[in-house]
Amino acid sequence: MAANTKAPEAIHLEDYKTPAYLVDQVQLTFQLEPSATLVRSKLQMSRNLDRTEPEPLRLDGNSMELISVVLDGKTLSGDNYQLDAEGVTIFAVPEKFCLEIETKIDPAGNTSLEGLYQSSGNFCTQCEAHGFRKITFYPDRPDVMAKFRVRIEAEKKYPVLLSNGNLIAEGELENGHHYAEWEDPFPKPSYLFALVAGDLVCIEDSYKTRSGRDVLLQIFVEERNKDFCDHAMLSLKKSMKWDEDVFDLEYDLDRYMIVAVDDFNMGAMENKGLNVFNSKYVLAHPETATDADYLGVESVIAHEYFHNWTGNRVTCRDWFQLSLKEGLTVYRDQQFSADMNSAAVCRIDDVRILRQHQFPEDAGPMAHPVRPASYVEINNFYTMTVYNKGAEVIRMMRTLLGEEKFVDGVKLYLKRHDGDAATCDDFVRAMEAAGQRDLSQFKLWYSQAGTPQVLIRSHYDEQAKSLRLDMVQHCPPTPEAEQKQPFQIPLAVGLLAADGSDIPLQLEGEDSAGATTRVLELCEKEQSFTFIGLKEQPILSPLRGFSAPVRLKADFSDDELAFRMAHDADSFNRWEAGQTLALKELLRMLSDLEEGRQFVLSPKFICAWRHALEDRQADMSLLTQLLTLPSEQYLSDQLEECNPQAVREVRDRARWQLGSECQAALMERYQECADDGEYSLDPQAVGRRSLRNFCLTLLMELHDQRMTDLCLEQYYKSQNMTDRLAAFAVMVDNPAQDRLAVINDFYQRWQEHPLLIDKWFSVQAMSHQPQVFAEVELLLRHPAFSMSNPNRFRSLVGAFTQNLGAFHRGDGAGYRFLADQVLLLDQKNPQVAARMAGPFTRWKRLEPHRRELMKAELVRMQAAELSKDLYEIVSKSLS
Ligand code: TRP
Ligand code: ZN
């Protein structure tokens, strides 16, 4: 790790310049050795056509040994180039030339998991965003696209040798080693390069594309995991079919390879023809993976597959355009998951994640636009804003254009830019052309950070039989701008009649009523809309399907909310009405607690809640969503000055109250939803498990031995991980005497399965038991804990920071713990360390005492030698 003695500098979008030199062809040869791998690179390069004068050649590179530089056959001496910590400058090169560079790298010692590294003794690479420059010196930027040819030489104890594209040769070498040669016919940026070598087995299948080509599908895993790949393979085939059906997009190579590794910084990586995955998003089996894990595998497999067009065939001009590929690809994987599963539940989950994590990001010191204007370390910008808000921006364009024109727009964008490195503006231009609309105001979603607030007031005119909606939008200041221009906000609204039915809508100035959901476009700071032809005062259903990523403010009465929770035709808004009602209730309890009053749920709320619980017509997955109280994070996000421990106390109290006052109803539903045999992933079965386990957790709040016995029975007898883990988690959350026995049992049973030991750590770190902090400190010393595996680190330290009641201890010990761990990890893996420091960016939103404690830890961290990654988070948090 390169520690920084002076403050690292920011890079700005406005400074973008085209590359001075382009690479036409790359030939790479790897001689793999764990601690001393030789990399020979042969580049055919030429000066960019837009440059008239010769310029020095700048190549990026760090963390390696430069052995030799040969220009057009002549070895360069040290006077011909200048090496520094971030690369090399070659002073003079002709207009067209061949450059040969030899470097030596140390994969076994590479703990950053960027570049070439080892996982379980196998070699693999991670090049996005700046990993390739740790392999060889190269113009490591996405607008330099080249054809790659790769030769890998290694000992035979690494039988599998893979790179992008097509296998063109393989064979034996004189020294007993073997080799393989790969050629990728599609020009690509260096961040999409991949190499894998090791002792892996391969699960194969094939897919016939719509035009009749056969594609070989291969998933490579360690031998011990070979029975866990079926779901990933099925998900891949479904993704390939979906992209053909919805966007007319076919796969373009003869082979699609996926490799699963245990040590990985993020979820997965879309390298051309050779995806590398965190094994968490490949492996699944009923006994080891939960329903949520299955969904995760399906969506990440789809996400990486979809990148083949949105990301690879059309890539990003520079990293400021990251959302061009990520926002669009998240949107595509969300639509895919919605089509494969319950669309309503998917939308609720996506919005829940957005509000729980992206809204706070947008309200904190790291807030940035979907297309950031500057960054210090690009790794820090793989954020919820770029990914998930980016997907909402795409979704809004679909809402404005309609599905058909939107799909035309995507196709036009891909056609115009195939084989190129494009920008977010290019994408919007294609949408404007396909939709025949001017989207210039809409583009502010790309350049302005912050979550807009929309205030709606409705006025019913008895005489005129009309309803006027007065809307005001406001966006709070964020680091890049104090003042914001008004956004173009698509608001899908409906009106409900007294019988709960949807009213056909007619706006002032229209001849007749039309559809029952209308997209209003709020473009001004203040704007009104009037619906006419109403027989009676309707109930407003605003922001259907969460049509824009905004905070909606409206003063709905409890009765209106309860009515919409029961009747709204939009299932998202039924859920939303229930959440709003619960939020009001919990916030009221919180102020009761703070003012020393009794804090309890109102009988009215409990009654409505029980009523919903007993609805046997409702879809069970949706019902579980409806019954689940807003999360601690979401509650905290509503408060100017938050004491997360009070939030925990209130929410736990409410859960306990629901458990005890609805005990009989919960018990009935728990029993009705009992599993009837074979594990199945159909939405019915998933819904049944979710409702059953939800009932179990509330019943366990009662600390009743009969319930504990049921829970233990579920834990020991379940054949699937969904039910077993649910029972395990509530046992760990419970003071029952069997708690330790269950903890030990889980460990014994699953110790050979890293992904399950991750769960074992996180369940304990998330416990609501008062001794959790001491337990976490002990677990840090457990032999199975390791700092070098990101999943494991996240499963203990990361999970603990999400345990708001424990992490935000009033004595600051939780904060000190995190700072210590992050500083240690920063020495090995800056990318993950910076990510884990995320909770520190929220310090200004805490109540004064905790705010000072957290700030003190930030100040302490700032005084240490930090990586660029962590430096950016810490310094921006303090500024
Ligand atoms: N491009 C990847 C995706 O979203 C994610 C990614 C970015 C990544 N940087 C990474 C993965 C670093 C691993 C390591 O699909
Ligand atoms: Zn992605």
Is a pLDDT exceeding 50 seen at residue 718? yes
**Measured distance CA(65)–CA(412) in Å, rounded:** 45
Does residue 2 register a pLDDT over 90? no
Nearest CA, atom 10, ligand 1 = 128
Q: Which residues line ligand 1 (CB under 6 A)?
A: 126, 128-129, 265-266, 268-270, 303-304, 326, 382
Residue extents of the structural domains in the chain = 17-199, 571-878
Q: Which of 124, 134, 328, 382 to mutate to test the pocket of ligand 1 (most atoms within 8 A of CB)?
A: 382
Rounded to the nearest angstrom, the distance between the alpha carbon of 150 and the centre of ligand 1 is 22
Asked if 202 and 177 count as a contact pair (C-beta separation under 8 A), the reply is no
Q: Which two tokens stand for residue 153?
A: 């030489």
**Strands ordered across the beta sheet of 146-154:** 74-75, 65-71, 96-105, 37-47, 21-31, 146-154, 178-188, 166-172
The conformation of residue 129, written as its DSSP 8-state character, comes to T
Asked if residue 1 has pLDDT above 50, the reply is: no
Residue 675 pLDDT: 80
Q: Any idea which ligand is nearest the CA of 192?
A: 1
Q: Taking residues 108-120, what's their average pLDDT?
A: 98
Q: What is the pLDDT of residue 91?
A: 98
C-alpha 745/C-alpha 691 separation (Å) is 25
End-to-end CA distance of the chain: 25
Of all protein residues, the one whose alpha carbon is nearest to atom 9 of ligand 1 is 128
Average pLDDT of the residues of the chain? 97
Atom nearest to 311 CA in ligand 1: 1
Residue 659, CB-side half-sphere exposure with 13 Å CA sphere: 19
Over residues 495-509, the pLDDT tens digits come to 999 999 999 999 999
Residue of 266, 316, 386 to test ligand 1 pocket, by largest number of atoms within 8 Å of CB: 266
Q: Which residues of 756-769 are buried (b: 16+ CB within 10 A; e: fewer)?
A: bbbbbbbbbbbbee
276-317, pLDDT tens digit by residue? 999 999 999 999 999 999 999 999 999 999 999 999 999 999
Question: To test ligand 1's pocket by mutation, which of 269, 281, 791 has the most ligand atoms within 8 angstroms of CB?
Answer: 269
> Identity (one letter) of the amino acid at 200?
L
* Distance from residue 328's CA to the centre of ligand 2 (Å): 9
Cα of 257 vs centre of ligand 2, distance in Å, is 17
Per-residue pLDDT averaged across 435-441, rounded?
A: 98
Kindly state the tokens that stand for 433: 């052309």
Residue 614 is among the residues annotated as catalytic for this protein: no
From atom 2 of ligand 1, which residue's Cα is the shortest distance away? Answer: 269
Q: How far is the CA of 335 from the centre of ligand 2 (A)?
A: 15
The mean per-residue pLDDT over the stretch 421-441 comes to: 99
> Closest Cα to atom 1, ligand 1: which residue?
269
Is 245 a residue whose pLDDT tops 60?
A: yes
| Confidence bin at 427 (pLDDT 50/70/90) | very high
Closest ligand to C-alpha of residue 380 is 1
Look-up: residue for tokens 């003079």? 92
DSSP-derived 3-state class of residue 190: helix
pLDDT digits (tens, 9 = 90+) for 596-649: 999 999 999 999 999 999 999 999 999 999 999 999 999 999 999 999 999 999
Cα 868 to ligand 2 centroid, rounded to whole Å: 23
CA dist 10 and 6 (Å) reads 13
pLDDT in tens, 451-506: 999 999 999 999 999 999 999 999 999 999 999 999 999 999 999 999 999 999 99
Contact by Cβ (8 Å): 123, 116: yes
To the question of domain 571-878 being in CATH 3.20.20.70, the answer is no
* Separation between Cα atoms, residue 488 and residue 470, nearest integer Å: 16
What pLDDT sits at residue 5? 57
Which residue, judged by its Cα, is nearest atom 3 of ligand 1?
Answer: 269
Which residues are CB-contacts of 879 (< 8 A; sequence separation ≥ 6)?
A: 365
Long-range interactions of 698-702: CB distance < 8 A, separation 24+: 698/655, 698/658, 698/659, 698/662, 698/666, 699/659, 699/663, 699/666, 699/667, 699/670, 700/659, 700/730, 700/733, 700/734, 701/652, 701/655, 701/656, 701/659, 701/660, 702/656, 702/659, 702/660, 702/663
Q: Of the residues 153, 181, 298, 304, which is catalytic?
A: 304
Can you give the three-state secondary structure of 691-757, one letter per residue? HHHHHHHHHHHHCCHHHHHHHHHHHHHCCCHHHHHHHHHHHHCCCCCCHHHHHHHHHHHHCCCHHHH
**Residue closest by Cα to atom 7 of ligand 1:** 128
Characterize the bridge pairing of strands 274-278 and 255-261: parallel
Q: Which residues pair with 138 in a beta bridge?
A: 60
Q: Which fold has domain 17-199?
A: Immunoglobulin-like (2.60.40)
Atom of ligand 1 at shortest distance to CA of 304?
15
Please report the pLDDT score of residue 677 as a whole number. Answer: 80
pTM score, whole prediction: 0.98
Residue 3: which pLDDT band, with cuts at 50, 70 and 90? very low
Closest by Cα among 770, 724, 772 to 761: 772
Tell me the two tokens of residue 440: 């210039």
How many whole angstroms from 278 Cα to the centroid of ligand 1? 10
CB-CB neighbours of 328 under 10 Å: 24
Ligand nearest to the CA of 382: 1
